[in-house]
Chain A
């Protein structure tokens, strides 16, 4: 049982790191694309039509993957003052409710992301010649990661692992 936990933990931690790297690469690529946009406008005297929409598309990946990693690392902004004043057991209950709610929202991202993708797949994005549904893919994938990471927290807490400790899964140390 213990080795199963360890293996899962390692797998999810690598998944989180991969998502973080994809997000970071997206941010770098967005920078390069927008710089190219300014450069072409003033130096090459022509404004590329694809740069804004393509970088907005990348931003979707950057946001939804990055936000999912935030669920695992607990870096999301929240108002957790009440939790300080509660006994340990009550804290665990409230945190579990939070995780369930986040899990439900992640599931919604998957289900309705798929519906939205299918509804818009036959439309075409102007200036990119891609199916309109492509824009919803990061919602689906981000939702899947949100589900996985909140499940990990729920299961870990249930099994008595220190998922709510300050240093758990921050990923800062392995950079």
Chain B
């Protein structure tokens, strides 16, 4: 009964368009009333769910990413990528993917990546005669790379949803190879599509020009080292590294690039507030929801159910992947991480899957969901930049979905791709 109220209220409100944070909060509120528990507990969980120090990394990384886009750090990374891979088949498409990979090293958000890289690359690609759909598709699917390459605030959300026991440094390290693998497979796909459509290559700019662009991009590249090195070596926590990223981005744009006005700063701050207050509100409400799931023993029941279906780890992982892909088409990433982690993590751990490995699977899988309609924030951002309807992008996006899905399967069934690099640090 209580379970019906919890899920029934949630799904009903979700369908009629209530903001997800309130779907979760009100469903928990209603369930607590039905169970006869004190309603106080919902709001106590809401508050304690967001009073977590590591959560602060989320507004910080998003704020830092915004400063890097407005201040020109992102633009210089894109220019550097242009001089490195622009001469490959599918020229600017390759540049787009390489730029996503580099920008992913300083920002952990796929939406920020799509708006930063897409904002610079899509108009250029249009002007050089590439199909807008091609530009939009590469930008969207390429943005998933940013979720895997550290820093990734979604991995922090995963670690917190899993009870905070999974090392963020390990998760960050585990994402590196899958991220690079995804970049590689997308570059191959971009090459293949470009050959079929007869897209041009860019002339190689020459070593002198490349060196010049490298020098201009160095402040951004140093930040990659500071964040990853700092967290990996334990010099500072993920939250502290995100704070240093803000201060660093602020100083670089203010002193070296001289491209930040007070108005830019205010706009960046309020933009960060708008984006992250909403995400954190979802996290708070999901804390109440998750507490009720545990109270009603949902994860345990699911483990028992799945064990009755199959005792094969590979089958279970495939089933979970399919369920996550379906959920990912109509829900956003962070609420899904918060809701599904406490449900699925005990299941896969019962089958002997490493929680760090599952984290990478989850992030990559839900990352694909960001590029699928009806709800796909990254695809929407890219289409808005390219000014094409979602349908136009959808018609030719399939090879890129295919590449991302292939990497998802590789990452799911070859745990070493995720776990080998972290194991070197133990």
Residues of A within 8 A of B (CB): 20-21, 23-24, 27-28, 30-31, 34-35, 37-38, 52, 55-57, 59-60, 62-67, 69-71, 73, 75-83, 94-95, 97-98, 101-102, 104-105, 108-109, 112-113, 115-116, 135-136, 139, 175
Contact A59-B51, Cβ < 8 Å, known A24-B270, A116-B44:
yes
Measured in the bound complex, the distance between the Cα atoms of B26 and A109 in whole Å is 11
Mostly, the B contact residues are helix
Q: How large is the interface on B (under 10, 10 to 19, 20 to 34, 35 or more residues)?
A: 35 or more
Give the residue of B20, B269, B270, B273 whose beta carbon is less than 8 angstroms from that of A77. Answer: B20
Is there contact, CB below 8 Å, between A70 and B277? yes
Residues of B within 8 A of A (CB): 13-22, 25-26, 29, 39-40, 42-44, 46-47, 50-53, 55-56, 59-60, 63, 236, 239-240, 243-244, 246-247, 263, 266-267, 269-270, 272-274, 276-282, 284, 330-332, 335, 374-375
Is there contact, CB below 8 Å, between B16 and A97? yes
Is there contact, CB below 8 Å, between A70 and B17? no
Most buried by B among A23, A59, A97, A135: A59
Q: Which residues of chain B come closer than 8 Å to A135, judged between CB atoms?
A: 47, 51
Give the residue of B44, B243, B281 whose beta carbon is less than 8 angstroms from that of A64. Answer: B281
Measured in the bound complex, the distance between the Cα atoms of B49 and A63 in whole Å is 12
Contact A23-B273, Cβ < 8 Å, known A77-B332, A79-B330:
yes
Measured in the bound complex, the distance between the Cα atoms of B247 and A142 in whole Å is 29
Measured in the bound complex, the distance between the Cα atoms of B266 and A59 in whole Å is 18
Residue of B nearest to A67 (CB): B281
Is there contact, CB below 8 Å, between A116 and B43? yes
Measured in the bound complex, the distance between the Cα atoms of B275 and A27 in whole Å is 12
Q: Which residues of chain B come closer than 8 Å to A175, judged between CB atoms?
A: 263, 266-267, 270
Is there contact, CB below 8 Å, between A27 and B274? no
With both chains docked as a complex, state the minimum distance between the C-beta of A35 and any C-beta of chain B, in angstroms: 5
Residue of A nearest to B284 (CB): A63
Is there contact, CB below 8 Å, between A105 and B29? yes
Is there contact, CB below 8 Å, between B270 and A34? no
With both chains docked as a complex, state the minimum distance between the C-beta of A112 and any C-beta of chain B, in angstroms: 4
With both chains docked as a complex, state the minimum distance between the C-beta of B329 and any C-beta of chain A, in angstroms: 10
Measured in the bound complex, the distance between the Cα atoms of B20 and A71 in whole Å is 12
Give the residue of A38, A56, A78 whose beta carbon is less than 8 angstroms from that of B244. Answer: A38
Give the residue of B239, B243, B331 whose beta carbon is less than 8 angstroms from that of A79. Answer: B331
Q: Which 8 A-B pairs have the closest CB atoms?
A: A66-B277, A76-B19, A67-B281, A80-B17, A34-B243, A112-B43, A98-B18, A24-B269
Contact A67-B243, Cβ < 8 Å, known A34-B56, A79-B15, A101-B18:
no
- 14 A-B residue pairs with Cβ-Cβ distance under 8 Å, sorted by A, are A20-B273, A56-B53, A59-B51, A59-B55, A63-B280, A64-B281, A66-B277, A67-B280, A77-B332, A78-B17, A79-B17, A82-B16, A101-B18, A113-B43
